[in-house]
Structure 1
Amino acid sequence: MSTIIMSQCWPLQGLSVTQKAVLISLADQANDDGVCWPAVGTIAARCCMSARAVRSAMDHLEAVGLLARDRRFNSSNVYSVTPAKFKATAAPSKGTRKTAKKGAAPGAGAAPHAGGAPGAAGDAPGAGGEAGGAGLEVRPVPPNRHITTNEPSEEPPSLAGLSAAPLTKSEQEEQMQLACKATWAAYRAAYRIRHGVDPVRNAKVNTNVRDLVKRLGREEAPLVAGWFLSVNENFAVKRMHDLGVLLAGAEAYRTQWATGRQVTDTSARQQDQTQANANAADDAKALLRRLKGNADAQ
């Protein structure tokens, strides 16, 4: 475990929940040079996701410079986590290039047919097993987003001029479960670094995680949960950074995370004292004005 690599990965923005969870899992197992060699199945089990989702996330991490892979035959791949090389505006992921290939213009491997009669040349499969492209609409995939069936899309509700259908209850629940898994993975990894053991997980903790996602949202809940373990507030430290403490002050902690400012007990007392001094000064000024008014009246 490398606290150096882990501390460099937590602040990174522009990644999906799945991608961030895989990155943190790799950083948790890396040495101070960022090198590790876990199996894909191990990462999938740790992050509570499928192996396919892990591979898709790795493809994106590699595309934006956060991961380098040394593929080996009959052995685990060797990974290098490189947060210093992160480029959020890197080239589109492999998913974008595949979509462009499938949406090739008519005539690239199959000629369009006239009148749409069965058996015409345009109905023959192309070189890659795809049907001729005549009449097909190509929908662009936004860059830097590798969307799989295991990772819900969070693109704008309108794409290529078409309105997206509202999510069903089962789809909403699937997204909630993914966000809860990512939030727990981030909290657990940071907890192990701070306290050296895994946090307790039970029904109450699961409820707290779900409520935290509801209050902070799917994207920010994992980030705030991981950051919370760096808080040195007296009450949070005494409670060993219990999730209940985070949930009780979720919005306040989220503001501290977003602004990069931690409110410690000392700083809170200083703010209180500053406000008390300001109030005393205002009271003194008001008293002087009243005395001056009384003197003028006499």
Structure 2
Amino acid sequence: MSTIIMSQCWPLQGLSVTQKAVLISLADQANDDGVCWPAVGTIAARCCMSPRAVRTAMDHLEVVGLLTRDRRFNSSTVYNVTPAKFDKAAAPSKGTRKAGKSGTASGAGAAPRAGGAPDAGGDAPRAGGDAAGAGLEVRPVPPNHHITTNEPSEEPSSPAGLSAAPPVVDSETELQAACRATWAAYASAYRIRHGVAPVRNAKVNANVKQLVQRLGHAEAPAVAGWFLTVNERYVVQNMHDLGSLLAKCEAYRTQWVTGRQMTATSAQQQDQTQSNANAADEAKAKLRQLREATNAH
């Protein structure tokens, strides 16, 4: 906030409530040189108005010399608040705009105004000798008036040469760090197991991100490195690609925690054990029924 710019903006007259609110909001965020770069959405939220109303107010502020805009492609717009350059006469008055809309269709029958008789076109000169059309000259529209700029959802970082704005906490930083750690663990174990570096492309990066999201930031790197010790036939045939890990990452995580790898052979053995146990339970149940029947007789 610059008290210098704010103190110069408060006394200014001839602005609407919307225009004054936008000007004060910009001044509140500007440095002592009047430079700031807030998002339009931020200004709209602070002033309790729509983004469209903010842009319309900015257009007027630019016409009267209170604001300049430096639009940058795919970046934030830099604003320069210049209260010293305010030209109140530069903006057409409400009466002028109304006259411009209605036109001069009254013709020769228009009533004369104070200060002179009607001219050949039927418009009466105003008091002081000014013609009725005075002040209706076409003013250039500010550059890129109809171009919608992409405003960032968060406050952008400061452009080069400007004072740095307070850092914005990036919610992706922790996820990105976990992805880097996961890939590093996987790539290191892969080189040890296969003697070459693994391929990394967009699909692999997507797999790493999904792995971190499913297993968590803390466990994903450890499971990714441990995965290279798995000797399942399918996994070995696929050279321990990340797609195989991602397909059953929760199951591999359990194996990593318990320290027991579940191969096809061990699964078959456990299945046979369970079958034997089921058969034994059935035999016990039948024997119990026979005993109960014998005791009943």
Q: TM-score range by the shorter chain?
A: 0.3 to 0.5
TM-score (norm 2): 0.42
> Which protein has the larger Cα radius of gyration, Structure 1 or Structure 2?
2
TM-score (norm 1): 0.42
